[in-house]
Amino acid sequence: MSARILAPLLMGLFMLVLWEGLVRAMAIPPYILPGPILVAKTLVSDWGTLWPALIVTLTITLQALLAAVVVGVLLALLFSLSRWIELSLFPYAIILQVTPIVAIAPLIIAWVDDVNVSLLICAWLVAFFPILSNTVLGLRSVDRNLLDLFELYGASRWRTLLDLRLPAALPYFLGGLRISGGLALIGAVVAEFVAGSGGRESGLAYRILESGYQLKIPRMFAALVLISAAGIAIYGLLSLVSHLLLRRWHESALGEG
Amino acid sequence: MPLVRVHDVSQVFANGVRALAGASLDIEAGEFLSVLGPSGCGKSTLLRLIAGLAEPTAGSIDWPEGRPDLGFVFQEPTLMPWTTALANVALPLKLRGVARSEREARAAEALAGVGLQGFEKSYPRELSGGMKMRVSIARALVTAPKLLLMDEPFAALDEITRRRLNTDLLELWQRTRFTAVFVTHSVFESVFLSQRIVVMSARPGRVRSELAIPAPYPRSEAFGTSADYAALCRLASAQLSEAMAA
């Protein structure tokens, strides 16, 4: 095993042991800070509640990510076709991006009847911008000479898009996708928090809120662990997809094999 | 009748830079012509105008026998990094709607023509600088064009690779007899390759003088070390200095 894997693994193990040791040595009660062993036990014993909650949150995350890909890429294509559309719409995309989601989430939840849909909109709002801006950048980063070459051989706009602009934009898009994957999860969790007790009682964020009210702190930690694990899994999966797609040709995927 | 008649062509860019001012030039079918000049003399602009990638601000570019099929080789290899050498070479055929099996066969043939048999499935990043340039040349020749425009194609390569490519390019030209227009800022390269050299002056670019290189083909490394070659290089060099001083 290489140092790249071993070092963080040992560090993590050390932190866990330290944590457990401190909790025991100082006799910290579990409702203040549960030790990692108790958290792990709770994760197993409360699996029946936590697992369905995780599925609910993950479903919203993935739906939001999918919507972000579709809308982000379509908008980016539209922007690349018309400078005017880009000039008139891009500032609003930026405004949407810089407005904190916690600030708009209550509005969206109030306006949209279906809680599911409102959560989806929140997560999507957070996730779509990196895909949009990266894809726009990628579509613009096409080699000028290759564009000339396509023109020289009389390629149609459609052919140029398909055979030149899209492949050239792929690494940028995938970079955006990796960021958006994590953001979609954050968006989903934040929206669930805001929807809170008024919303439906099923997502992981709701489980955290509920555990807080009931002082079931070990369960709160267990839910947190699940959210982190989900985030890491999403990032890892998207990185893998990116690596598989780019490994033959792009600098970013080289030098790892 | 010339293949192309560049007549009194001027090009002014949007930022006000005058790249060309009244450049005139006839290119004969089948010849190997070099356009020699300092950087910024509008050589590349001239090539782009001939290729139809830009419109001249004034003047005209006429094709007495009709505009033939043409190939273009850029200063950089300009390959698509996401696909194989074969697919890169086949691109012009693909853009023209040639069926897959035929274009792959022709692309493989073109690759073999530049000495890259066996590298069909290689990606550009797996090839050396000289090999990438060979792929680029194969791509330009895959449509069997009557006119091949080359914009300082070997400028970024090392001396040894460059010499090999010069020799191989001449061999290709003798075999297929396309019309070659080779833009360069190297006196030695232009003398070694061409039948005729056109010397351009800078800012704004115009054609200053012409020089015939009567040496016979095939030209080998021996030609590159001969007294004739040295004398012609001196001559071309003098004309270039004159053009730069003007």
For residues B62 and B173, membership in a common domain is answered with yes
Candidates B235, B224, B245, B208; CA nearest to B25 is B208
Neighbours of B180 (CB within 10 A): 23
Fill in the amino acid letter for B117.
Answer: Q
Interface contact B51, partner A, CB < 8 A? yes
Instruction: Assess if residue B158 is contained within a domain.
Output: no
Give the total number of structural domains in chain A.
1
Partner A contacted by B214 (CB < 8 A): no
Residues 6+ apart with CB under 8 A from B72: A148, A149, A152, B47, B51, B140, B148, B149, B150, B151
Q: Which domain holds residue A67?
A: 48-200+224-248
Say whether B53 and A146 touch across the interface (CB within 8 A). no
- Tokens 């944590």 correspond to what residue? A19
- Residue-wise pLDDT for B198-239, tens only, equals 999 877 788 888 999 998 988 888 888 899 999 999 999 999
B46 and B23 belong to one structural domain: yes
Residues of A whose CB is below 8 A from B143:
153
User: Is A75 contained in some domain?
Assistant: yes
B83 and B119 belong to one structural domain:
yes
In total, how many domains does chain B have?
2
B61 belongs to a structural domain = yes
Residue A233 domain-assigned (yes or no): yes
Residue A256's pLDDT is what? 46
Measured CA to CA, the distance from residue A197 to residue A199 in angstroms comes to 5
The per-residue pLDDT string of chain A (257 residues; one tens digit each, 9 = 90 and over) reads 688 889 999 999 999 999 999 999 999 999 899 999 999 999 999 999 999 999 999 999 999 999 999 999 999 999 988 889 888 988 888 888 888 888 888 888 889 888 889 999 999 999 999 999 999 999 998 999 999 999 999 999 889 999 999 999 999 999 999 999 999 999 999 998 888 755 556 889 988 988 988 999 999 999 999 999 999 999 999 999 999 999 888 877 765 43
Cβ count within 10 A of residue B222: 8
CATH code of the domain in which A115 resides = 1.10.3720.10
Residue B197 is part of which domain span?
A: 1-68+165-246
In terms of domains, do B62 and B184 share one? yes
Domain presence at residue A231? yes
What are the structure tokens assigned to B228, written together?
């004739």
* B173 and B62 housed in the same domain: yes
| Model pTM score | 0.86
In a domain, B157, yes or no: no
Is B160 within a domain? Answer: no
Residue B44 belongs to some domain of the structure: yes
- Is A211 part of a structural domain of the chain? no
pLDDT at A200: 58
Chain B from 64 to 83: CB within 8 A of any A CB: 70, 72, 74, 76, 78, 80-83
Closest approach of A197 to chain B, Cα-based (Å): 50
Residue B29 within any structural domain of the chain: yes
Q: Chain B residue closest to A146 (CA)?
A: B78
Note whether B62 and B177 are same-domain residues: yes
Q: How far apart are CA B196 and CA A202, in angstroms?
A: 81
- Which residues from A are below 8 Å from B89, CB to CB? none
Q: Has residue B35 been placed in a domain?
A: yes
Q: Are residues B118 and B47 in the same domain?
A: no
The pLDDT of residue A193 is: 87
Same domain as B81, residue B62: no
- Residue A212 within a domain: no
Task: For residues B98 and B36, state if they share a domain.
Answer: no
Domain boundary among B116, B145, B174: B145
Q: Judge whether B97 is closer than 8 Å to chain A, CB to CB.
A: no
pLDDT in the model for residue A257: 39
User: What stretches in chain B show pLDDT beneath 70?
Assistant: 246
What are the beta bridge partners of residue B27? Answer: B4
Put residue A28 in one of left, alpha, beta given phi > 0 → left and psi -120 to 50 → alpha.
beta
Q: Based on the domain organization, do B222 and B114 belong to the same domain?
A: no
Q: Which two tokens stand for residue A252?
A: 């970013």
- Report the CATH number that the domain containing residue B223 is assigned in CATH: 3.40.50.300
State how far the Cα of B100 lies from the Cα of B86, in Å rounded to an integer: 12
A interface with B, Cβ–Cβ < 8 A, is 143, 145-146, 148-155, 159, 163-164, 167-168, 170, 248-250, 254
Nearest to A149 among B78, B81, B124 (CB): B78
